[in-house]
Homo-oligomer: A and B are copies of this chain.
Amino acid sequence: MGEAYNLQDIAGFLGAELAGDANCVIRRLNTLQDAQEGDLAFLANKAYAKLLASTRASAVLLEPRHAADYGGNALIVDNPYVAYARITDWFKPVREACGIHSTAVIADSAHIGDGVSIGPHAVVEDGVAIASGVVLGAGSYVGQGSSIGANSWLGPNVNIYHGVSIGSEVTIHSGAVIGADGFGFANDRGAWVKIHQLGGVEIGDRVEIGACTTIDRGALGNTVIEDGVILDNHVQIAHNVRIGENTAMAAYAGIAGSAVIGKNCIFAGQSGAVGHVTICDNVHAMARCTLSKSIDKPGSYSSGLLMYETPVWRRNAARFGQLDDLARRVKKLEKGQS
């Protein structure tokens, strides 16, 4: 923050066509509506195109089709939202490498790469390998034999159990727990006998894991999160699940044991999948939808109900338990008429 850039430099980084003043100074990113002088805004949704007339932004990221409508400084790109995402990297707070804090407890047998930052009170156990450029937040824990790939960033109080392999450029937020026991028990005449969870967890590159998200270790074999997967907060990935590349899951998405989820799927908030199913690539589970069977046809799947005012809802909800009866009665009526 506090950095300033020429519009020309930003255009060069984004591969954007520049219209207007190449020396225009950009100090912040902002929305069209809230932008002030010194701000670069973006038009990613045509519903906001009318704001072009009134925005106070010093420059705007927009598509070619909107360039003619705008007389101010512009960066013209195919996908303004992606361009905005890419340029946020220039405006994020700079995290200076702060080295290894004296209060961190690091096993002698751990291998720590160059330029690694380890915060106060972090704990790194025997045999851990932390690659160059990793940031490990204050109070975080990395269990025996786990590894973290180059330039990954783990926030404060992140928990990595033993035997977890994490790729490079991974982000993991506070409170996340990777590698706790899967929920495996056998019922012996009423009492539960714990199935010790002997597998591990493999997490690919460029994965994002939100706050308080949990990924359990495998019972036998590993739980696997492939490259480019993004998980919001409070997500639950059970033991021996596999999540395909670039799949995205919003808050409270929950995947039960041994489910195999394809690539480029999207799970909306509160959605999920039951255990042992196989979901093909490009499936979209809408909010609160449980994928209750295997799916081999890409597309959108739903369950759940729409929202009603409570008195309306109550009247109709009470009829749900009569649906089967109602259907039979309609059939009988049809027979009577024919």
Residue numbers of A with Cβ under 8 A of B are 1, 29-31, 34, 79, 81-82, 84-86, 88-89, 91-93, 101, 103, 105, 119-121, 123, 137-139, 141, 143-144, 155-157, 159, 161-163, 171, 173-175, 177, 180-181, 183-188, 190-196, 198, 208, 210-212, 214, 216, 220-221, 228, 230, 232-234, 236, 238, 246, 248, 250-252, 254, 256, 264, 269-270, 272, 274, 284, 286-293, 297, 299-324, 326-327, 329-330, 333-334, 336-337
Contact = CB atoms under 8 A, between A and B. Distances in A.
Q: Which 9 A-B pairs have the closest CB atoms?
A: A85-B186, A88-B196, A300-B310, A159-B174, A302-B313, A177-B211, A92-B196, A141-B156, A319-B323
The count of identical subunits is 3
Contacts of A307: 289-293, 301-303
B310 A190 contact: no
B321 A306 contact: yes
Nearest to A30: B220
A333 B31 CA distance: 55
Nearest to A235: B234
Contacts of A256: 250-251, 269
Contacts of A333: 330, 333-334, 337
Contacts of A270: 254, 270, 272, 290
Contact of A303 (B91, B93, B251, B308): B308
